[in-house]
Structure 1
Amino acid sequence: MTDYKTLIDAETWAFIEKTNSYYPPDTIDYTVPQQRAIYDQMCREFFAGYPQGVTAETTAIAAPGNSIPIRVYRNATPDKAAMVLYAHGGGFILGGLDSHDDVCAELCARTGYDVASVDYRLAPEHLHPAAFDDVMDAFEWAAGTYDCPVLLCGDSAGGNLSAAVAHATRGHTKKPAGQVLIYPGLGGDRSRGSYVTHAQAPMLTLRDTEFYLKIRTGGVDRTGDITLYPLSDADFAYLPPTVLITAQCDPLSSDGEAYRDRVVAAGGRAYWFEEPGLMHGYLRARHTVGRARSSFTRIVEAVSTLGNGEWIW
């Protein structure tokens, strides 16, 4: 049994307890509409506002048979070296433009890059590959709209979607310039590593991950589907430079290590950092927990560095 009282410090526990007060650990046993209402309220409670100089415009991308809402963040003193396409977390059933609104605004402020957040379709109303298709269409829009390189970035479910798009666009005339994946679920081996050691971690358990996968697919076995499980790809060559930042106390953490190893083995550039003593969902703690604050700075630096076409790891 993992001793989280030792791994997790007091201020992080305070964040966990505050989160649990809004979003109880048994929330996945509620109906999906109830889960969304609880999640949205929690996100509002943690909303930190916009940094000075950042503005946002909500619009939509016209896609085949679909209209995809996006929110574009711009800095008063923009850096046009790159732009960021952001895919939010939420287990493929939760979240949207508002759930990660302040995160995207702060990413824009601290990098200077335009950030476009994608409001992809959610399960169970829209099963896989709907979310993947929407982020793919958003990438096509970004690549065709911006004259600068496009970076992929996302947390949790959004990290999965970003990686899947990176794999699918290797032959694109304007493929992604890099990807920053924050505690992503990439379809790793559930019988080993963090899936076992941290199966009962605070904020996200193995049972939670299995629930989200089942509801995303409608219970259909899609083994080998790269757009669902990027780690199932047989070829990891020619992927963009990749930075993976995971949380130690998270069943998904080993996916970051496995993905790093596959990219490097194929001759690519990838760096994996596991944040000690943090758990899934810590982005909302970036203003109150020292470890989360430091991690968000690492994320910002990774986005900035890749956007400038540099590799420092």
Structure 2
Amino acid sequence: MTDYEKLIDAETWAFIERTNSYYPPDTVDYTIDEQREIYDRMCRAFHAGYPESVTAEGSTISTPTHAIPIRTYRTAAPEASAMVLYFHGGGFILGGLDSHDGICAELCAGSGYEVVSVDYRLAPEHIHPASFDDALAAFEWAAAAYKRPILLCGDSAGGNLAAAVSHATRGHKRHPVGQVLIYPGLGGDTSKGSYITHAEAPMLTMRDLEFYKNIRTGGIDRTGDITLAPLADADFANLPPTVIVTAECDPLSSDGEAYGRRIEAAGGKAWWHEEPGLVHGYLRGRHLISRARASFGRIIEAVTVLGKGERAW
């Protein structure tokens, strides 16, 4: 039994308790509409506003079947080295442009890069591969619209989408210059590692993960589908330089470690860092937890460095 009283410090426990006051641990037992209402209310409660230098503008990406809402963040004097395509977390059923609004604004301010947040379609209304299709369409749009290098970034479910797009676009003439994955779920082996050690972690449990997976797939067995689980890919060659940041107290931590090692084994460049004592979703606590604040600083640094084509490790 993992002793979280020893692993997690007082600041992080306060964040967990505040989160639970908005988003109780049994929220997966509610209807999807209720879960979304609860999640959105929680995200609003943690929103810290924009840095003074940042503005945001909403627009859409047109596809043959639908429009994908996006929100573009800019600083007064944007850094021209790269643009960041950001995919939000939320288990593929929650979240949107507002849920990760502050994170994207601060990422823009910290890096100086233009950040484009993508409001991909959610399950159960749109099961897999809808979210992946939208993420890929967003990359194709960005590759056509921007001459600057494109960097992929995402947290949790969004980290999954960023990685899946990286795998799908290796042969693209405008392939991503890098990817930064924040506590991503990548379809790893659930019979070992953090999936066992942290199966009952605060903020995210194996029960939660199984629920999200079943909703995303519509209950269809998609074993081996690399657009769903990038770790199922047999080929890890020619992926962009990758930074993976995970939380120690999170069943998904082993996915980040395994993914980084697979890239390195294929001759690629990857850096995996596990944040001690932190939990899934800690980015929302970046203004409340010193460890989360430091981690977000490292994430901004990784984005900045990779966007310039430099080494992040």
Give the partner amino acid of 1:19: T
CA distance in 1, matches of 2:22, 2:312: 39
Give the partner amino acid of 1:276: P
CA distance in 2, matches of 1:312, 1:85: 18
Kept in 1, the 8 Å contact 2:243–2:312? The answer is no
The 3-state SS of whatever aligns with 2:181 is strand
Kept in 1, the 8 Å contact 2:306–2:312? The answer is no
CA distance in 2, matches of 1:135, 1:74: 21
The 3-state SS of whatever aligns with 1:57 is strand
Corresponding residue pairs, total: 313
**1:229 Cα shift?**
0.4
CA distance in 2, matches of 1:178, 1:225: 22
Give the partner amino acid of 1:167: H
The 3-state SS of whatever aligns with 1:143 is helix
- The equivalent of 1:55 in structure 2 is 55
CA distance in 2, matches of 1:64, 1:188: 33
CA distance in 1, matches of 2:285, 2:43: 11
1:176 has 2:180 as partner: no
Kept in 1, the 8 Å contact 2:153–2:181? The answer is yes
**1:79 Cα shift?**
0.1
Note the residue ranges of structure 1 that are not aligned, 5 or more in a row: none
The 3-state SS of whatever aligns with 2:67 is strand
- The equivalent of 2:216 in structure 1 is 216
Matches within 5 A, 1:1-313: 1-313=1-313
**1:66 Cα shift?**
1.3
Note the residue ranges of structure 2 that are not aligned, 5 or more in a row: none
**1:53 Cα shift?**
1.2
The 3-state SS of whatever aligns with 2:147 is coil
**1:64 Cα shift?**
1.9
| TM superposition score normalised by structure 2 | 1.00
**1:184 Cα shift?**
0.2
**Structure 1 vs Structure 2 CA RMSD:** 0.4
CA distance in 1, matches of 2:88, 2:215: 17
CA distance in 1, matches of 2:19, 2:267: 41
Kept in 1, the 8 Å contact 2:87–2:154? The answer is yes
CA distance in 2, matches of 1:292, 1:254: 19
Give the partner amino acid of 1:78: P
| TM superposition score normalised by structure 1 | 1.00
**1:312 Cα shift?**
3.7
**1:171 Cα shift?**
0.4
**1:77 Cα shift?**
1.4
Give the partner amino acid of 1:45: A
Identity, in percent, stands at 73
After superposition, the C-alpha distances for 1:251-305 in whole angstroms (9 at most, x for unaligned) are 0000000000100000000000000000000000101100000000010000000
Kept in 1, the 8 Å contact 2:302–2:312? The answer is no
CA distance in 1, matches of 2:61, 2:129: 18
The 3-state SS of whatever aligns with 1:58 is strand
After superposition, the C-alpha distances for 1:224-272 in whole angstroms (9 at most, x for unaligned) are 0000000000000000000000000000000000000100000000000
CA distance in 1, matches of 2:312, 2:155: 22
After superposition, the C-alpha distances for 1:21-42 in whole angstroms (9 at most, x for unaligned) are 0000000000000000000000
The 3-state SS of whatever aligns with 1:51 is coil
Give the partner amino acid of 2:255: D
